[in-house]
Structure 1
Protein backbone atom coordinates (compact mmCIF):
# COMPACT_ATOMS: atom_id res chain seq x y z
CA UNK A 1 0.00 0.00 0.00
CA UNK A 2 1.31 3.44 -0.95
CA UNK A 3 2.03 5.77 1.94
CA UNK A 4 0.23 9.15 1.76
CA UNK A 5 2.05 12.29 2.71
CA UNK A 6 0.49 15.39 4.14
CA UNK A 7 0.73 18.69 2.31
CA UNK A 8 1.15 21.92 4.26
CA UNK A 9 -1.89 24.17 4.17
CA UNK A 10 0.36 27.06 3.11
CA UNK A 11 1.30 25.06 0.00
CA UNK A 12 -2.35 24.31 -0.80
CA UNK A 13 -3.11 28.05 -0.60
CA UNK A 14 -0.37 29.01 -3.06
CA UNK A 15 -1.50 30.09 -6.52
CA UNK A 16 -1.69 27.29 -9.08
CA UNK A 17 1.19 28.84 -11.02
CA UNK A 18 3.37 28.33 -7.92
CA UNK A 19 2.38 24.68 -7.49
CA UNK A 20 -0.55 25.10 -5.10
CA UNK A 21 -4.26 24.63 -5.50
CA UNK A 22 -5.09 28.33 -5.43
CA UNK A 23 -7.36 28.12 -2.40
CA UNK A 24 -7.83 31.30 -0.41
CA UNK A 25 -6.73 31.32 3.21
CA UNK A 26 -9.83 31.38 5.37
CA UNK A 27 -8.29 33.68 7.99
CA UNK A 28 -7.13 36.18 5.35
CA UNK A 29 -10.53 36.11 3.65
CA UNK A 30 -12.29 36.65 7.00
CA UNK A 31 -10.04 39.65 7.77
CA UNK A 32 -10.63 41.08 4.30
CA UNK A 33 -14.40 40.84 4.73
CA UNK A 34 -14.23 42.42 8.21
CA UNK A 35 -12.14 45.26 6.77
CA UNK A 36 -14.80 45.68 4.08
CA UNK A 37 -17.44 46.11 6.79
CA UNK A 38 -15.18 48.61 8.57
CA UNK A 39 -14.60 50.50 5.33
CA UNK A 40 -18.36 50.65 4.76
CA UNK A 41 -18.83 52.13 8.25
CA UNK A 42 -16.76 55.06 7.01
CA UNK A 43 -17.82 55.41 3.40
CA UNK A 44 -21.46 54.26 3.28
CA UNK A 45 -22.98 56.55 5.89
CA UNK A 46 -26.32 56.66 4.02
CA UNK A 47 -26.87 52.89 4.30
CA UNK A 48 -29.43 51.87 6.90
CA UNK A 49 -27.28 49.13 8.42
CA UNK A 50 -24.37 51.59 8.78
CA UNK A 51 -26.65 54.12 10.48
CA UNK A 52 -27.85 51.40 12.87
CA UNK A 53 -24.32 50.24 13.78
CA UNK A 54 -22.98 53.79 14.16
CA UNK A 55 -25.93 54.68 16.40
CA UNK A 56 -25.80 51.47 18.43
CA UNK A 57 -22.07 51.74 19.14
CA UNK A 58 -21.90 55.52 19.62
CA UNK A 59 -20.11 56.67 16.48
CA UNK A 60 -21.92 59.97 16.28
CA UNK A 61 -20.24 62.20 13.74
CA UNK A 62 -19.16 61.34 10.22
CA UNK A 63 -15.49 61.59 11.20
CA UNK A 64 -13.35 58.47 11.12
CA UNK A 65 -13.00 57.15 14.69
CA UNK A 66 -9.43 56.36 15.77
CA UNK A 67 -10.67 53.35 17.73
CA UNK A 68 -13.90 51.47 18.33
CA UNK A 69 -15.46 50.86 21.72
CA UNK A 70 -15.67 47.07 21.76
CA UNK A 71 -16.14 46.47 25.50
CA UNK A 72 -19.73 45.52 24.85
CA UNK A 73 -21.12 44.47 21.55
CA UNK A 74 -21.66 41.60 19.21
CA UNK A 75 -19.00 39.12 18.21
CA UNK A 76 -18.83 40.80 14.79
CA UNK A 77 -18.36 44.26 16.33
CA UNK A 78 -15.51 42.99 18.50
CA UNK A 79 -13.92 41.35 15.45
CA UNK A 80 -14.13 44.66 13.54
CA UNK A 81 -12.48 46.35 16.52
CA UNK A 82 -9.57 43.89 16.31
CA UNK A 83 -8.88 44.73 12.65
CA UNK A 84 -9.74 48.46 12.93
CA UNK A 85 -6.05 49.43 12.71
CA UNK A 86 -5.92 47.79 9.27
CA UNK A 87 -8.95 49.84 8.20
CA UNK A 88 -7.25 53.03 9.39
CA UNK A 89 -4.02 52.00 7.66
CA UNK A 90 -5.90 51.81 4.34
CA UNK A 91 -7.43 55.29 4.50
CA UNK A 92 -6.00 58.17 2.47
CA UNK A 93 -7.57 61.56 1.91
CA UNK A 94 -7.66 63.81 -1.12
CA UNK A 95 -8.23 67.36 0.04
CA UNK A 96 -11.16 69.36 -1.24
CA UNK A 97 -12.17 72.08 1.20
CA UNK A 98 -10.29 70.46 4.12
CA UNK A 99 -13.26 70.64 6.49
CA UNK A 100 -13.65 66.90 7.07
CA UNK A 101 -10.00 65.88 7.30
CA UNK A 102 -8.37 65.99 10.72
CA UNK A 103 -4.99 67.72 10.40
CA UNK A 104 -3.20 65.55 12.97
CA UNK A 105 -5.19 62.30 12.90
CA UNK A 106 -5.94 61.55 9.22
CA UNK A 107 -3.52 60.46 6.48
CA UNK A 108 -3.55 63.33 4.02
CA UNK A 109 0.00 64.71 3.90
CA UNK A 110 2.08 61.54 4.23
CA UNK A 111 1.46 58.04 2.96
CA UNK A 112 2.53 56.03 5.97
CA UNK A 113 1.11 57.66 9.10
CA UNK A 114 -0.93 60.60 10.34
CA UNK A 115 1.00 63.73 11.36
CA UNK A 116 0.41 63.06 15.07
CA UNK A 117 3.11 60.37 14.89
CA UNK A 118 5.65 62.99 13.79
CA UNK A 119 4.83 65.63 16.41
CA UNK A 120 8.04 66.62 18.18
CA UNK A 121 6.29 67.80 21.32
CA UNK A 122 2.84 67.48 22.89
CA UNK A 123 0.16 69.27 20.90
CA UNK A 124 -1.60 72.25 22.45
CA UNK A 125 -5.14 71.22 23.44
CA UNK A 126 -6.72 73.68 21.00
CA UNK A 127 -4.92 72.06 18.03
CA UNK A 128 -5.54 68.37 18.74
CA UNK A 129 -8.80 68.15 16.76
CA UNK A 130 -8.06 70.78 14.11
CA UNK A 131 -9.18 70.10 10.58
CA UNK A 132 -6.90 70.86 7.65
CA UNK A 133 -9.04 73.90 6.79
CA UNK A 134 -8.43 75.24 10.33
CA UNK A 135 -4.73 75.43 9.45
CA UNK A 136 -5.19 77.69 6.43
CA UNK A 137 -5.12 81.50 6.56
CA UNK A 138 -7.90 83.66 5.12
CA UNK A 139 -5.75 84.39 2.06
CA UNK A 140 -5.53 80.65 1.23
CA UNK A 141 -1.96 80.05 2.47
CA UNK A 142 -0.86 77.59 5.16
CA UNK A 143 -0.95 79.03 8.69
CA UNK A 144 2.59 77.90 9.48
CA UNK A 145 2.46 79.43 12.96
CA UNK A 146 -0.01 76.76 14.09
CA UNK A 147 2.11 73.71 13.31
CA UNK A 148 5.56 74.45 11.85
CA UNK A 149 7.33 74.30 15.23
CA UNK A 150 5.62 70.99 16.06
CA UNK A 151 6.83 68.96 13.07
CA UNK A 152 10.26 68.01 11.65
CA UNK A 153 11.54 69.83 8.56
CA UNK A 154 11.02 66.89 6.17
CA UNK A 155 7.32 66.81 7.08
CA UNK A 156 7.02 70.59 6.78
CA UNK A 157 8.51 70.36 3.28
CA UNK A 158 5.96 67.71 2.36
CA UNK A 159 3.09 69.94 3.55
CA UNK A 160 4.59 72.89 1.68
CA UNK A 161 4.35 70.84 -1.53
CA UNK A 162 0.59 70.42 -1.03
CA UNK A 163 -1.76 73.13 -2.21
CA UNK A 164 -3.84 74.36 0.75
CA UNK A 165 -7.52 73.45 0.52
CA UNK A 166 -9.99 76.05 -0.72
CA UNK A 167 -13.57 76.67 0.33
CA UNK A 168 -14.48 76.17 -3.31
CA UNK A 169 -12.45 72.94 -3.51
CA UNK A 170 -15.43 70.63 -3.07
CA UNK A 171 -15.73 67.88 -0.52
CA UNK A 172 -12.76 65.99 0.88
CA UNK A 173 -12.55 62.53 -0.67
CA UNK A 174 -11.62 59.34 1.14
CA UNK A 175 -9.71 56.72 -0.83
CA UNK A 176 -8.47 53.19 -0.23
CA UNK A 177 -4.66 53.22 -0.14
CA UNK A 178 -4.16 49.65 -1.36
CA UNK A 179 -5.86 50.28 -4.69
CA UNK A 180 -4.70 52.21 -7.74
CA UNK A 181 -8.25 53.47 -8.28
CA UNK A 182 -8.87 54.36 -4.63
CA UNK A 183 -11.83 51.97 -4.53
CA UNK A 184 -12.02 49.18 -1.97
CA UNK A 185 -11.90 45.62 -3.28
CA UNK A 186 -11.77 42.53 -1.06
CA UNK A 187 -9.56 40.56 -3.46
CA UNK A 188 -6.80 43.18 -3.13
CA UNK A 189 -6.66 42.58 0.62
CA UNK A 190 -6.29 38.86 0.83
CA UNK A 191 -2.49 39.04 0.83
CA UNK A 192 -2.08 42.23 2.92
Structure 2
Protein backbone atom coordinates (compact mmCIF):
# COMPACT_ATOMS: atom_id res chain seq x y z
CA UNK A 1 0.00 0.00 0.00
CA UNK A 2 2.83 2.40 0.80
CA UNK A 3 4.28 1.86 -2.66
CA UNK A 4 0.92 2.52 -4.28
CA UNK A 5 0.32 5.67 -2.23
CA UNK A 6 3.85 6.96 -2.87
CA UNK A 7 3.14 7.02 -6.61
CA UNK A 8 0.70 9.88 -6.05
CA UNK A 9 2.93 12.09 -3.91
CA UNK A 10 4.40 13.78 -6.97
CA UNK A 11 0.95 14.98 -8.07
CA UNK A 12 -0.94 17.92 -6.55
CA UNK A 13 -4.29 16.18 -6.65
CA UNK A 14 -6.23 19.13 -5.27
CA UNK A 15 -5.24 21.18 -8.32
CA UNK A 16 -6.34 18.50 -10.80
CA UNK A 17 -9.84 18.09 -12.20
CA UNK A 18 -11.98 15.03 -11.51
CA UNK A 19 -11.28 13.74 -15.03
CA UNK A 20 -7.57 14.22 -14.49
CA UNK A 21 -7.70 12.36 -11.18
CA UNK A 22 -9.62 9.55 -12.84
CA UNK A 23 -6.87 9.20 -15.43
CA UNK A 24 -4.20 9.11 -12.72
CA UNK A 25 -6.12 6.48 -10.73
CA UNK A 26 -6.29 4.15 -13.74
CA UNK A 27 -2.74 4.80 -14.95
CA UNK A 28 -0.93 5.03 -11.60
CA UNK A 29 -2.83 3.29 -8.78
CA UNK A 30 -4.57 0.52 -10.69
CA UNK A 31 -1.45 -0.38 -12.67
CA UNK A 32 0.34 -1.11 -9.39
CA UNK A 33 -2.28 -3.73 -8.56
CA UNK A 34 -2.91 -5.38 -11.93
CA UNK A 35 0.55 -6.87 -12.47
CA UNK A 36 0.93 -8.68 -9.11
CA UNK A 37 -2.72 -9.74 -9.28
CA UNK A 38 -2.02 -11.79 -12.39
CA UNK A 39 0.42 -13.97 -10.46
CA UNK A 40 -0.32 -13.65 -6.75
CA UNK A 41 -3.27 -13.95 -4.41
CA UNK A 42 -3.97 -10.45 -3.13
CA UNK A 43 -5.73 -10.29 0.22
CA UNK A 44 -9.21 -8.68 0.21
CA UNK A 45 -8.04 -6.21 2.86
CA UNK A 46 -5.35 -4.92 0.50
CA UNK A 47 -7.86 -4.47 -2.31
CA UNK A 48 -10.17 -2.66 0.12
CA UNK A 49 -7.37 -0.28 1.09
CA UNK A 50 -6.58 0.34 -2.58
CA UNK A 51 -10.23 1.21 -3.19
CA UNK A 52 -10.15 3.61 -0.22
CA UNK A 53 -7.07 5.29 -1.66
CA UNK A 54 -8.72 5.59 -5.06
CA UNK A 55 -11.86 7.14 -3.57
CA UNK A 56 -9.85 9.54 -1.46
CA UNK A 57 -7.75 10.74 -4.39
CA UNK A 58 -10.75 11.04 -6.70
CA UNK A 59 -12.88 13.15 -4.35
CA UNK A 60 -10.24 14.99 -2.28
CA UNK A 61 -7.03 14.82 -4.29
CA UNK A 62 -5.23 13.32 -1.27
CA UNK A 63 -4.80 9.91 0.34
CA UNK A 64 -7.65 10.48 2.81
CA UNK A 65 -11.22 11.71 2.55
CA UNK A 66 -14.56 11.73 4.34
CA UNK A 67 -17.88 10.25 3.31
CA UNK A 68 -19.32 13.76 2.92
CA UNK A 69 -16.99 14.44 0.00
CA UNK A 70 -17.92 11.27 -1.90
CA UNK A 71 -20.50 12.65 -4.28
CA UNK A 72 -21.38 9.45 -6.15
CA UNK A 73 -21.63 5.78 -5.13
CA UNK A 74 -18.39 3.97 -5.95
CA UNK A 75 -20.15 1.28 -7.97
CA UNK A 76 -21.49 4.00 -10.25
CA UNK A 77 -18.05 5.63 -10.50
CA UNK A 78 -16.65 2.30 -11.72
CA UNK A 79 -19.14 2.01 -14.56
CA UNK A 80 -17.84 2.64 -18.09
CA UNK A 81 -18.38 6.14 -19.46
CA UNK A 82 -21.12 4.98 -21.80
CA UNK A 83 -23.09 3.71 -18.80
CA UNK A 84 -22.87 6.90 -16.78
CA UNK A 85 -19.70 6.19 -14.79
CA UNK A 86 -16.20 7.64 -14.81
CA UNK A 87 -14.53 4.49 -16.07
CA UNK A 88 -12.48 3.85 -12.92
CA UNK A 89 -11.43 0.22 -12.91
CA UNK A 90 -13.10 -1.81 -10.16
CA UNK A 91 -9.95 -3.46 -8.80
CA UNK A 92 -11.82 -6.08 -6.82
CA UNK A 93 -13.84 -7.36 -9.77
CA UNK A 94 -11.00 -6.96 -12.23
CA UNK A 95 -8.72 -9.00 -9.97
CA UNK A 96 -11.31 -11.79 -9.97
CA UNK A 97 -11.36 -11.62 -13.76
CA UNK A 98 -7.56 -11.88 -13.84
CA UNK A 99 -7.64 -14.95 -11.61
CA UNK A 100 -9.74 -16.75 -14.22
CA UNK A 101 -6.52 -17.20 -16.15
CA UNK A 102 -5.49 -19.84 -13.60
CA UNK A 103 -8.16 -22.43 -14.49
CA UNK A 104 -7.77 -21.37 -18.13
CA UNK A 105 -4.12 -22.39 -18.08
CA UNK A 106 -5.01 -25.59 -16.24
CA UNK A 107 -6.99 -26.47 -19.35
CA UNK A 108 -4.70 -25.04 -22.00
CA UNK A 109 -1.27 -25.71 -20.50
CA UNK A 110 -1.64 -28.59 -18.02
CA UNK A 111 2.14 -29.18 -17.98
CA UNK A 112 2.77 -26.04 -15.91
CA UNK A 113 4.39 -26.98 -12.61
CA UNK A 114 1.71 -25.41 -10.40
CA UNK A 115 -1.21 -27.24 -12.04
CA UNK A 116 -2.93 -29.47 -9.51
CA UNK A 117 -1.80 -27.40 -6.53
CA UNK A 118 -4.99 -25.32 -6.36
CA UNK A 119 -5.68 -21.79 -7.50
CA UNK A 120 -7.30 -18.59 -6.17
CA UNK A 121 -10.26 -18.98 -8.52
CA UNK A 122 -12.09 -21.70 -6.56
CA UNK A 123 -14.95 -19.39 -5.57
CA UNK A 124 -15.34 -18.12 -9.14
CA UNK A 125 -15.32 -21.45 -10.97
CA UNK A 126 -19.03 -21.12 -11.72
CA UNK A 127 -18.27 -17.82 -13.43
CA UNK A 128 -15.36 -19.42 -15.25
CA UNK A 129 -17.47 -22.24 -16.63
CA UNK A 130 -20.30 -19.88 -17.48
CA UNK A 131 -17.78 -17.92 -19.56
CA UNK A 132 -16.57 -20.96 -21.48
CA UNK A 133 -17.92 -23.66 -23.76
CA UNK A 134 -16.52 -27.11 -23.03
CA UNK A 135 -15.76 -29.39 -25.96
CA UNK A 136 -15.26 -32.94 -24.74
CA UNK A 137 -12.90 -35.10 -26.80
CA UNK A 138 -11.12 -37.92 -24.99
CA UNK A 139 -12.29 -36.70 -21.58
CA UNK A 140 -8.76 -36.49 -20.16
CA UNK A 141 -8.98 -32.83 -19.03
CA UNK A 142 -12.65 -32.34 -18.20
CA UNK A 143 -13.58 -32.63 -14.48
CA UNK A 144 -16.31 -35.25 -14.24
CA UNK A 145 -18.44 -33.93 -11.39
CA UNK A 146 -17.63 -30.22 -11.25
CA UNK A 147 -17.75 -28.95 -14.84
CA UNK A 148 -20.87 -28.39 -16.99
CA UNK A 149 -19.85 -30.76 -19.76
CA UNK A 150 -22.98 -32.96 -19.83
CA UNK A 151 -25.56 -31.15 -21.96
CA UNK A 152 -24.32 -27.90 -20.41
CA UNK A 153 -24.85 -29.13 -16.84
CA UNK A 154 -22.64 -30.47 -14.07
CA UNK A 155 -23.26 -34.12 -13.18
CA UNK A 156 -23.21 -33.14 -9.51
CA UNK A 157 -26.14 -30.78 -10.21
CA UNK A 158 -28.01 -33.44 -12.17
CA UNK A 159 -27.62 -36.00 -9.39
CA UNK A 160 -26.55 -34.25 -6.17
CA UNK A 161 -27.39 -37.25 -3.99
CA UNK A 162 -25.24 -39.53 -6.13
CA UNK A 163 -22.40 -37.00 -6.03
CA UNK A 164 -22.68 -36.91 -2.25
CA UNK A 165 -22.54 -40.72 -2.10
CA UNK A 166 -19.54 -40.95 -4.42
CA UNK A 167 -16.26 -41.85 -2.74
CA UNK A 168 -14.27 -40.07 -5.43
CA UNK A 169 -15.07 -36.48 -6.23
CA UNK A 170 -11.96 -35.35 -8.08
CA UNK A 171 -11.45 -37.15 -11.36
CA UNK A 172 -11.77 -36.62 -15.08
CA UNK A 173 -14.48 -37.72 -17.48
CA UNK A 174 -12.34 -40.40 -19.13
CA UNK A 175 -11.47 -41.98 -15.80
CA UNK A 176 -15.05 -41.92 -14.56
CA UNK A 177 -16.58 -43.38 -17.73
CA UNK A 178 -14.03 -46.14 -18.23
CA UNK A 179 -15.96 -49.35 -17.53
CA UNK A 180 -18.51 -47.24 -15.61
CA UNK A 181 -15.99 -46.59 -12.86
CA UNK A 182 -18.16 -43.78 -11.50
CA UNK A 183 -20.76 -46.37 -10.49
CA UNK A 184 -18.22 -48.48 -8.61
CA UNK A 185 -17.26 -45.49 -6.47
CA UNK A 186 -20.79 -44.93 -5.20
CA UNK A 187 -21.29 -45.90 -1.59
CA UNK A 188 -25.06 -46.18 -1.11
CA UNK A 189 -26.39 -44.67 2.13
CA UNK A 190 -28.03 -46.85 4.74
CA UNK A 191 -31.45 -45.64 3.64
CA UNK A 192 -31.71 -45.44 -0.14
CA UNK A 193 -34.62 -43.21 -1.11
CA UNK A 194 -36.66 -43.12 -4.30
CA UNK A 195 -34.92 -39.86 -5.14
CA UNK A 196 -31.53 -41.61 -4.98
CA UNK A 197 -32.75 -44.15 -7.52
CA UNK A 198 -34.29 -41.51 -9.77
CA UNK A 199 -31.16 -39.39 -9.81
CA UNK A 200 -28.94 -42.40 -10.43
CA UNK A 201 -30.88 -43.56 -13.47
CA UNK A 202 -31.22 -40.02 -14.82
CA UNK A 203 -27.45 -39.62 -14.72
CA UNK A 204 -26.82 -43.13 -16.02
CA UNK A 205 -29.05 -42.59 -19.06
CA UNK A 206 -27.29 -39.33 -19.95
CA UNK A 207 -23.83 -40.82 -19.52
CA UNK A 208 -24.78 -43.90 -21.51
CA UNK A 209 -25.17 -41.65 -24.58
CA UNK A 210 -21.69 -40.14 -24.27
CA UNK A 211 -19.14 -41.22 -26.85
CA UNK A 212 -15.57 -40.08 -26.26
CA UNK A 213 -13.19 -39.39 -29.13
CA UNK A 214 -9.86 -40.88 -28.10
CA UNK A 215 -8.01 -39.02 -30.87
CA UNK A 216 -9.19 -35.55 -29.85
CA UNK A 217 -8.19 -33.59 -26.76
CA UNK A 218 -10.76 -31.76 -24.64
CA UNK A 219 -10.91 -28.03 -25.23
CA UNK A 220 -12.63 -24.88 -24.00
CA UNK A 221 -13.65 -21.73 -25.83
CA UNK A 222 -13.94 -18.32 -24.15
CA UNK A 223 -17.39 -16.96 -24.95
CA UNK A 224 -16.48 -13.29 -24.62
CA UNK A 225 -13.99 -13.06 -27.50
CA UNK A 226 -14.35 -13.84 -31.20
CA UNK A 227 -11.14 -15.88 -31.10
CA UNK A 228 -12.35 -18.09 -28.26
CA UNK A 229 -9.24 -17.19 -26.24
CA UNK A 230 -9.32 -15.92 -22.66
CA UNK A 231 -9.02 -12.16 -22.23
CA UNK A 232 -9.82 -9.73 -19.44
CA UNK A 233 -10.54 -6.91 -21.90
CA UNK A 234 -14.34 -7.45 -21.97
CA UNK A 235 -14.38 -7.31 -18.15
CA UNK A 236 -12.87 -3.84 -18.14
CA UNK A 237 -16.03 -2.73 -19.90
CA UNK A 238 -18.38 -4.69 -17.66
CA UNK A 239 -16.92 -4.06 -14.23
CA UNK A 240 -19.98 -2.38 -12.74
CA contact (8 A) 2:79 2:88 kept: yes
Q: 2:144 touches 2:171 (CA, 8 Å); kept in 1?
A: yes
| Per-residue deviation, residues 64-111 of structure 1 (Å, max 9, x unmatched) | xxxx3xxxxxxxxxxx53x32214541353111223323323321143
Q: Taking structure 1 as reference, are residues 44 and 150 closer, same or farther at Cα in structure 2, changes over 3 Å only?
A: farther
Residues 93-135 of structure 1: CA distance to partner in whole angstroms, max 9, x if unpaired? 31112233233233211435x212323334443x655543342
- Give how far 1:136 is off: 5.8
- Structure 2 unaligned blocks of 5 or more: 1-68, 187-195
2:199 paired with 1:151: yes
Deviation at 1:25, TM superposition (A): 1.3
Residue 144 (structure 2) aligns with: 103
Give the length in aligned residue pairs.
153
| Equivalent position of 1:167 in the other structure | 214
TM-score, length-normalised on structure 2?
0.47
Secondary structure (helix, strand or coil) at the match of 2:221 reads: strand
- The structure-2 alpha-carbon separation of the partners of 1:177 and 1:23, relative to structure 1 and needing over 3 Å to count, comes to same
The aligned residue for residue 73 of structure 1 is none
* Corresponding residue for residue 72 of structure 1: none
Give RMSD over aligned pairs. 3.9
Aligned counterparts of 1:87 and 1:12: Cα–Cα separation in 2: 27
> In the alignment, which residue of structure 2 is the partner of 1:187?
233
Maintained 8 Å contact 1:120/1:151: yes
Give the TM-score of the pair, scaled to structure 1.
0.56
Of 89, 93, 96, 1:24 maps to 89
Q: Is the 8 A contact 2:100 2:128 kept in 1?
A: no
Gaps of 5+ in 1: 60-67, 69-79, 138-142
Higher relative contact order (CA 8 A, sep 6+): 1
